Structure 1
Amino acid sequence: MCLHMMNRVDLAEEGTFDGIGVRIFKPTTPSKELRAGVVYIHGGGWTLLSVDGYDRFTRALAKKTQAIVVSIDYRLAPEHVFPAAFDDCVKATKYFMKNAAAFGVDSSKIGVAGDSAGGNLAMAVSLYFGKENIKPKLNFQGLIYPALQAMDYNLSSYREFDMSMRNTYTPVTKTTMIHYYNLYGFGGDQYVEYFKENTHTTRETKKKYRKLIDPSHLTWKYQMVPDDDNSEENLEIANKVANVILNPYFAPLMATDEELKLLPKTYLITAEYDGLRDEGMILGHRLRRINHPLNYKHWDGVEHGFMIYSFYDSYKSGLEHLSSYIKEVST
């Protein structure tokens, strides 16, 4: 076993899973039975934060759920571009699943969860496990206001929160997400202006993949009619970025319905004041349409990040909601 123990602090132990840094949170209450397990993947636009920044949240999650929580310290962009973070999360999750009993965990009760960029990685890991038919299967995926696509930046939530009078309501706007996605996918800002103009994909690509990112799936007040036939395009740039932005492990909403059917049961949260709101809603609609097991809650009146802002009342209710779900699906 390649778990390297050091600096035991209250409930937490530092370690490595197949070479990937992790922090393991163990409830102090004794248990005669094997516990549930949660692999948590932190947010931060694939470029920021770490297990340290999420220590309060993941520690609280372990206490609330009485599960073993593993927080992954994956490599960050731009020094490490896609698929580095994805690969790290896959490796650490596979290691935990394979060695679950050594940590007092029932391998059939392990799920993966994450927020924002971490939600992106959590769903990508779930897609990988499903497509590769890896056993044991993941018990659930928890997606907290996840980043899901880089094809269309004209969704209503991106338009709404890229206005100067509105972007103070959320840390995630069209501009910020474009920068994060470019750092994660390409290691720099060389394509940023094309993404902002939405010319980084061709008309043909927009029409071909529109069914996966369809604004008609949104609540009526957020719906819009995309004009893909008359959209501008830059063929040179589109050809350079296509293989990345159309990859479901980079942008999970690009998964087909058949691929979505391979996912574990899903917990999904979206927030009203969030540039990522619409793509999360679209995912929820697509999962419902294929009758996928889904627990979806949209939170009105809160912004992106509310689940880790411990000074908010919504943090407490959000943590309680997530914890209740994990306990329910782990019994």
Structure 2
Amino acid sequence: MAVLLLVLLLCLPTFLLGLLIWTICKHFLTRDVPSTLEHPVKFRILDCVFIYVITLGNILEKLRISSMPCFARFVQDRLFLKKKDSKVVITDLHFGTIPVRLFQPKAMSHCSRGGIIFYHGGAAVLGSLDFYHNVCLFLALETNSVLLSVGYRKLPDHHYPVITKDCLNTTIHFLKRLETYGVDPSRVVICGESAGGGTAAQIIQILVDRKDLPKIRAQVLIHPIIQAINYQLPSTQQNQNVPFLTRDFMLMCICRYMAIDLSWKDAMLNGACIPPETWKKYRKWLSSDNIPKRFKDKYKEPQFPGPFNESAYLETKHLFDVENSPLLADDQTIAQLPEAFLVSCEHDVLRDHTLLYKKRLEDQGVPVSWYHVEDGFHGCILLFDRQPFSFSCSQKVVNAVASYIKGL
């Protein structure tokens, strides 16, 4: 037994080193690093870490030691330290069974503060209260707002529609108790990043007819996922291999959360799961025709959607629900939405989601402020204070969001 343990201990470093070499090879063979990026070496290092963690998590999952999402979240929460600030009281609470984190500035205020409800990204695979802690702390301080960060339940134990349910329930709970937290009911902003941005769009649409709750002042959507139907938009083609959200990783996250077998991936990509009558109805909102010409560099218009596959549709039809694709909401709902601040990044597969939603909102008379980051990439906001791995685009995004909220 002792000999076996010794052999395992000797083999482990060799295995980990081999995995590192494989990770570096995979990065250079499969990833695209944009030429306009500010710090390409830092970007490559971070992506190698990302690939390494996800790959090791998949191996541990196959060995039934730990699920990949749990392992990845465990590692990410320990990569960077959470900041503390004497100017903010940070409290961990539970609204029902959902963990939340409350950030309350200490400085005296002559009137009630604004409120921010924040949904983090990660598509139920990554992301946590801890990983987004510093972003939330910064926004609370810079805007002098009470910020509620929602720690919705995730994979592998929880699937669709748990994110929407958890975020909706915590939001309603908070909105009914704003006076308890010293928040002005007329100054509440809902903010989300990536999958959290898509959830923010969903929640605001759900709440638009609730007369018993304070009206949301504004929605702040940071490179949100707004639809799960058209995977042939220009940004998906152009950025499909750009870290940290490649097209394949995005599809894996969607399929896992939506409980869709990955064998349907190709049908989702070419649109074979879209019924002809559905595409006819929603094409005016989902088509690449709505993307400005300047974003179509090197874009080849595909034959989309592909020949209809009813079996694929039956497996994926919940993707067509409005709560999964808020872009598909009816005109009456869209027209009632509060003003929006939309953030898009040039080197992001989700860039065109923001552009499509921007047009959708503007067509119905909703005021929209749009901030586009030419050198930005998906998830860059998380690195704004992560020295030595910060990027100027990261700081641009957090500053733009804070500036918009302060100006309300």
TM over 0.5: yes
Bigger RCO of structures 1 and 2 (CA < 8 A, at least 6 apart): 1
Counterpart CA distance in 1 for 2:126 and 2:251 is: 15
Partner of 2:325 in structure 1?
251
- Flag the structure with larger Rg: 2
Instruction: Indicate how the Cα distance of structure 1 residues 280 and 271 shifts in structure 2: closer, same or farther if over 3 A, else same.
Output: same
Question: Structure 2 counterpart of 1:105, which letter?
Answer: V
Counterpart CA distance in 2 for 1:238 and 1:188 is: 12
Counterpart CA distance in 1 for 2:211 and 2:392 is: 40
- TM-score, with normalisation over the residues of structure 1? 0.89
Deviates further, 191-200 or 320-329: 191-200
Counterpart CA distance in 2 for 1:190 and 1:75 is: 26
Counterpart CA distance in 2 for 1:24 and 1:153 is: 36
Instruction: Indicate how the Cα distance of structure 1 residues 145 and 134 shifts in structure 2: closer, same or farther if over 3 A, else same.
Output: farther
Matched, 1:98 2:176: yes
Counterpart CA distance in 2 for 1:301 and 1:198 is: 30
Deviates further, 67-76 or 302-311: 302-311
Question: Structure 2 counterpart of 1:102, which letter?
Answer: T
Counterpart CA distance in 2 for 1:82 and 1:108 is: 31
Question: Structure 2 counterpart of 1:295, which letter?
Answer: S
Matched, 1:283 2:283: no
Partner of 1:327 in structure 2?
406
Deviates further, 306-315 or 36-45: 306-315
Helix, strand or coil: the match of 2:106?
coil
For structure 1, the residue ranges without an aligned partner over 5 or more in a row are 1-7
- The root-mean-square deviation of aligned C-alpha atoms, in Å, is 2.0
Instruction: Indicate how the Cα distance of structure 1 residues 128 and 151 shifts in structure 2: closer, same or farther if over 3 A, else same.
Output: same
Matched ranges for 1:130-141 at <5 A: 130-141=208-219
Partner of 1:44 in structure 2?
122
Q: CA deviation at 1:108?
A: 1.7
Counterpart CA distance in 2 for 1:131 and 1:154 is: 33
Instruction: Indicate how the Cα distance of structure 1 residues 9 and 66 shifts in structure 2: closer, same or farther if over 3 A, else same.
Output: closer
In terms of fraction of residues, the more helix-rich structure is: 2
For structure 2, the residue ranges without an aligned partner over 5 or more in a row are 1-83, 385-389
Partner of 2:316 in structure 1?
241
Counterpart CA distance in 1 for 2:238 and 2:150 is: 33
- TM-score, with normalisation over the residues of structure 2? 0.73
Deviates further, 190-199 or 81-90: 190-199
Q: CA deviation at 1:129?
A: 0.4
Counterpart CA distance in 1 for 2:211 and 2:351 is: 30
Deviates further, 272-281 or 74-83: 74-83
Question: Structure 1 counterpart of 2:403, which letter?
Answer: S
Query: What whole-Å deviation, never above 9, does each CA across 1:159-217 have from its counterpart, x for those lacking one?
Result: 1122xxxx2x3312322221111112126535334223432222332222111212122
Query: What whole-Å deviation, never above 9, does each CA across 1:245-282 have from its counterpart, x for those lacking one?
Result: 11121121121222211221111001000000112111
> Which of residues 23, 31, 45 in structure 1 aligns to 2:101?
23
Counterpart CA distance in 2 for 1:190 and 1:131 is: 39
Counterpart CA distance in 1 for 2:401 and 2:294 is: 27
Helix, strand or coil: the match of 2:208?
helix
Question: Structure 1 counterpart of 2:338, which letter?
Answer: P
Question: Structure 1 counterpart of 2:374, which letter?
Answer: D
Deviates further, 92-101 or 314-323: 314-323
Counterpart CA distance in 1 for 2:258 and 2:221 is: 21
Q: Percent of aligned pairs with the same residue?
A: 27
Partner of 1:125 in structure 2?
203
Matched ranges for 1:135-284 at <5 A: 135-162=213-240, 167=241, 169-186=242-259, 189-223=262-296, 227-228=303-304, 231-242=306-317, 244-284=318-358
